[in-house]
Chain A
């Protein structure tokens, strides 16, 4: 996190329990970045593209952790919106979902996701996975737009 403006993690997760568990594990992994958690796709879009405080050109460097099954607008729609908009297409998106359907995996990569991670049901593995993501996050470089 050498960037002047630290990377903010946008966690898009409809299940509040999942959101809590993910955040907990990220923190345990030593991630101290800001985490913005939203419960549905529409809110994520609002965060990403709305004017005002979260206006696109004023967004901090972002990394999105995206679930697929979301109410109102689902993960695909959000992913598509991010990757098709020139202002946000550089934002790394990690799909974090319970589904491991190969079709969906393929589809997400087609739409431009950067990584696809399945939530394991077993909690130890779940923790490990999230921690790994956290460790990963500590080393990757995220493009800063401005």
Chain B
């Protein structure tokens, strides 16, 4: 049973108690109890029955039935019972009195439920109606649940109750007093009559009715009779329900000195009838006052309680929805004002705290971004590894690019997939307890390439455990540069050695003819002295002549010949050295040289010689190289010349020219099946003026020295593989990238 219904019934009971007799009050209470009993008993029964019969699928409809149908039934019952009560009142009592009673009743109900306008106002302010699907933050579920409504209701109940109690008591007191009043009036009237009649003869009765009439009207009686109704004087006509009050009045009898008693009967309207109208008036006034008071109270509570609460609630709701800029308006000094002030202060604090936190978060984010940017811009790979699982937890941009995979593809993999690939799962830190500090390691890229790195690993505390930070830099370029440098140094050393040995051998080679020149010059001088001695003798004896003649005819010309040939030798040597020097100085002009075009031209110039020696030349597929054309002609010409020159006499000669392109250079090989070169001679192969093996063909011993110088000047290398008796293979390289006077120092270039 809801509050409104109980209030309604309470109102009916109160009105009934005022409007009717006390028996009606009992009747009303029985009605209320009956109603309450029926509704209270019925709703749970209906609900439980519906719930018991409901299926899981029909649960929604069950709830609908439980919430909707019972309330309809309740309303219907309420209407029926209320209607019956009203009808019984109308039927049982005078219908005429019903209307003022009804108006008073309505006003009282309106006053009691003066919370209704407030309910509407609250509803407007945000209190929702009975809506089962509404959100929980929308204040109270029904307007009756509002504390403001409850306070108002209680106050109005109390006031109306007190008013009614006072009214009931005052009416009861008034009725009692009115009852006494009529008795008193009757006494007064009797006395007045006695006074009027005093001293008058019975015969002078003419004045009697007149006086009675005056007094009866004066005292509010509707009718009066004097004497017995049958034979006495009667004034007015009494109503059918009028109440009679009888008083005995003594008067002068017909005889002087004789007293006789006359009965005066006075009639007045029944007291209940009078009170009924008075009660209706009271109910009307009380109802009006309750209505006004209820409205006033509603206004007061709305203004001083409901609105501030609503303001706070709305603000709280807004805060809950995330709007922190909202503030409660403070226009008051009461508790709500204080509450609003604290609420605002709390919000300020929250906003300040949030701002602070946001700022901190922003700073943190920025610093994290900064760190990320720094880590990603460092030209060193950085990884964070969990030593327990060996999983990579973080990898910076450099490491990712070095590995050649996106960060996401690296994070979560085990570290030895990329770093320490050679250890394959045996971690140097955790398994071998080693320290890795600036040590050279190998990194395996996602593509399977191995990159030389210098790596350091440090262990750091991290969230209660430890993590390994690996940092590494790519040293493959450095490594390559080191290797290059090493090679250059080796080449330089070699070249230096060659130079030294060149100087020594040049010195030796130059000294040998000088020894001859000086020697034979000395011999010549000696011979001349001898000749002089013989010639200055007084006479030329036959013996002297025999000595003289071989000197002049053999020794002297021989000495002169030796001197001459030695000078020629010196000249040859100097010219050869100059040529070598020129090779070293000549500016090379790199251009694309197609060996497939160059070689046939060269072969043509050997055509005659080849035909004579029965040599067959085969050419593999020859590429184009970037080189100095004249140098290439000279190199290949010399090699081919040698190949043809030093063939095995008697067997068919075969010369094969082939080329192979590697990543960085072209290797050209000239292979023959000639006499070959012994291992001992290999070291002298490319030296100046050294001719190896049987000297059966002319040559000055400079060809390969020139070839070597030319190959080296173009940044290439030359070497020979040979097996005596089976043949030799001379191979030289020409780099794809032309390097004039590359790292190699051409023999003779230094001079």
A residues engaging B (CB < 8 A)? 15-18, 20-21, 24, 40, 42, 69, 71-72, 74, 76-77, 97-99, 101, 104, 119-124, 126-127
Q: What 7 A-B pairs have minimum CB-CB distances, sorted nearest first?
A: A123-B522, A17-B516, A21-B519, A98-B511, A17-B562, A123-B518, A99-B508
Q: Which residue of A lies closest to B504 (CB)?
A: A101
**Contacting residues, chain A, for B692 (C-beta < 8 A):** 72
**Contacting residues, chain B, for A101 (C-beta < 8 A):** 501, 504, 508
**Contacting residues, chain A, for B521 (C-beta < 8 A):** 123
1/0 contact string of B474-517 vs chain A (CB within 8 Å): 00000000000000000000000000010011011101111110
The yes or no answer to B695 lying at the interface (CB within 8 A) is yes
Q: Is the Cβ of A18 less than 8 Å from the Cβ of B512?
A: yes
Q: Which residue of A lies closest to B689 (CB)?
A: A69
**Contacting residues, chain A, for B508 (C-beta < 8 A):** 69, 97-99, 101
**Contacting residues, chain A, for B565 (C-beta < 8 A):** 17
Option from A15, A69, A72 in Cβ contact (under 8 Å) with B693: A72
Q: Is the Cβ of A72 less than 8 Å from the Cβ of B695?
A: yes
Q: Is the Cβ of A72 less than 8 Å from the Cβ of B694?
A: yes
Measured in the bound complex, the distance between the Cα atoms of B525 and A124 in whole Å is 12
Q: How far is the CB of B700 from chain A (nearest CB, A)?
A: 12
Assess A121 versus B562: contact at CB under 8 Å? Given A17-B516, A18-B516. Answer: no
**Contacting residues, chain B, for A17 (C-beta < 8 A):** 513, 515-516, 519-520, 562, 565-566
Q: How far is the CB of B509 from chain A (nearest CB, A)?
A: 8
Q: How far is the CB of A41 from chain B (nearest CB, A)?
A: 11
Q: Is the Cβ of B523 less than 8 Å from the Cβ of A24?
A: yes
Option from A15, A99, A127 in Cβ contact (under 8 Å) with B504: A99
**Contacting residues, chain B, for A124 (C-beta < 8 A):** 522
**Contacting residues, chain B, for A98 (C-beta < 8 A):** 507-508, 511-512, 515
Measured in the bound complex, the distance between the Cα atoms of B566 and A16 in whole Å is 11
**Contacting residues, chain B, for A127 (C-beta < 8 A):** 522
Option from B515, B520, B523, B691 in Cβ contact (under 8 Å) with A121: B515
Measured in the bound complex, the distance between the Cα atoms of B692 and A99 in whole Å is 19
Q: Which residue of A lies closest to B510 (CB)?
A: A98
**Contacting residues, chain A, for B520 (C-beta < 8 A):** 17, 21
By size class, the interface of chain B is 20 to 34
Q: Is the Cβ of A121 less than 8 Å from the Cβ of B504?
A: no
Q: How far is the CB of A91 from chain B (nearest CB, A)?
A: 21
Q: How far is the CB of A137 from chain B (nearest CB, A)?
A: 20
The yes or no answer to B26 lying at the interface (CB within 8 A) is no
9 A-B pairs with CB atoms under 8 Å apart are A17-B520, A18-B516, A21-B523, A74-B684, A76-B680, A101-B504, A121-B511, A123-B521, A123-B522
The yes or no answer to B45 lying at the interface (CB within 8 A) is no
Q: Is the Cβ of B694 less than 8 Å from the Cβ of A126?
A: no
**Contacting residues, chain A, for B519 (C-beta < 8 A):** 17-18, 21, 123, 126
Measured in the bound complex, the distance between the Cα atoms of B558 and A21 in whole Å is 11
Measured in the bound complex, the distance between the Cα atoms of B519 and A123 in whole Å is 5
Q: How far is the CB of B296 from chain A (nearest CB, A)?
A: 132
**Contacting residues, chain B, for A71 (C-beta < 8 A):** 691, 695
**Contacting residues, chain B, for A24 (C-beta < 8 A):** 523
Q: Is the Cβ of B518 less than 8 Å from the Cβ of A121?
A: yes
Q: Which residue of B lies closest to A22 (CB)?
A: B519
Q: Is the Cβ of B515 less than 8 Å from the Cβ of A77?
A: no
Interface positions, chain B 363-403, Cβ under 8 Å from A, are none
Measured in the bound complex, the distance between the Cα atoms of B515 and A123 in whole Å is 7
Known contacts A15-B512, A16-B562; 14 further A-B pairs (Cβ under 8 A): A17-B565, A69-B508, A69-B512, A71-B695, A74-B684, A77-B680, A98-B508, A98-B512, A99-B505, A120-B515, A121-B514, A121-B515, A123-B521, A126-B519
Option from B518, B558, B695 in Cβ contact (under 8 Å) with A20: B558
**Contacting residues, chain B, for A72 (C-beta < 8 A):** 692-695
Q: Is the Cβ of A119 less than 8 Å from the Cβ of B515?
A: yes
Q: Which residue of A lies closest to B565 (CB)?
A: A17
Measured in the bound complex, the distance between the Cα atoms of B505 and A16 in whole Å is 19
Q: How far is the CB of B735 from chain A (nearest CB, A)?
A: 33
Measured in the bound complex, the distance between the Cα atoms of B508 and A15 in whole Å is 12
Measured in the bound complex, the distance between the Cα atoms of B514 and A104 in whole Å is 21
Q: Which residue of A lies closest to B684 (CB)?
A: A74
**Contacting residues, chain A, for B522 (C-beta < 8 A):** 123-124, 126-127
Q: Which residue of B lies closest to A130 (CB)?
A: B519
**Contacting residues, chain B, for A97 (C-beta < 8 A):** 508
Measured in the bound complex, the distance between the Cα atoms of B521 and A73 in whole Å is 30
Measured in the bound complex, the distance between the Cα atoms of B511 and A17 in whole Å is 13
Looking at A18, A77, A123, the one whose CB has the most chain B CB atoms below 10 A away is: A123
**Contacting residues, chain A, for B695 (C-beta < 8 A):** 40, 71-72
Q: Is the Cβ of B515 less than 8 Å from the Cβ of A18?
A: yes
Measured in the bound complex, the distance between the Cα atoms of B507 and A121 in whole Å is 11
Looking at A42, A101, A126, the one whose CB has the most chain B CB atoms below 10 A away is: A101
Q: How far is the CB of A18 from chain B (nearest CB, A)?
A: 6
**Contacting residues, chain A, for B693 (C-beta < 8 A):** 72
